[in-house]
Amino acid sequence: WGCCPYPKAVCCDDGEHCCPQGYTCDVSAGTCNRGNTQSELTELSVGSVKCDDGSSCPTGTTCCKLSSGDWGCCPYPKAVCCDDGEHCCPQGYTCDLSAGTCDRGNTQSELTELSVGS
């Protein structure tokens, strides 16, 4: 068994990836799809990453400081933590908080909410 950082996640048929609730896995394309929205598949993890305050997040995720000052988990490795302390984007993307998207060139996906670390 592996851990997926999303609540009520969709486990992909390959047994190695997951997607947020409401998305479908496209393992061959490496994406999670919902309508016209795409994001990268998230790898299942075993183990944990230590955050600066001693809390932890699952392996393959990134610790991001929450607006409360605590630490949260972003489901992407080497993620970009957005300035609002509530969202993150995959590596290589930028946060567009006003549009609610993660942007990279002409590619957009929804911002991902941070979860609280353990």
Q: Which pTM was predicted?
A: 0.61
A 10 A CB-CB count for 65 gives 15
Whole-angstrom CA distances from 97 to 36, 43, 66, 86, 102 are 19, 25, 15, 10, 8
Rounded to whole angstroms, how far apart are CA atoms 107 and 37? 10
From edge to edge, which strands make up the β-sheet containing 24-26?
Answer: 24-26, 31-34, 37-40
Label residue 58 by pLDDT band (50, 70, 90): confident
Residue pair 27/12 in contact (Cβ under 8 Å)? The answer is yes
pLDDT digits (tens, 9 = 90+) for 64-99: 999 999 899 998 888 999 999 999 999 999 999 999
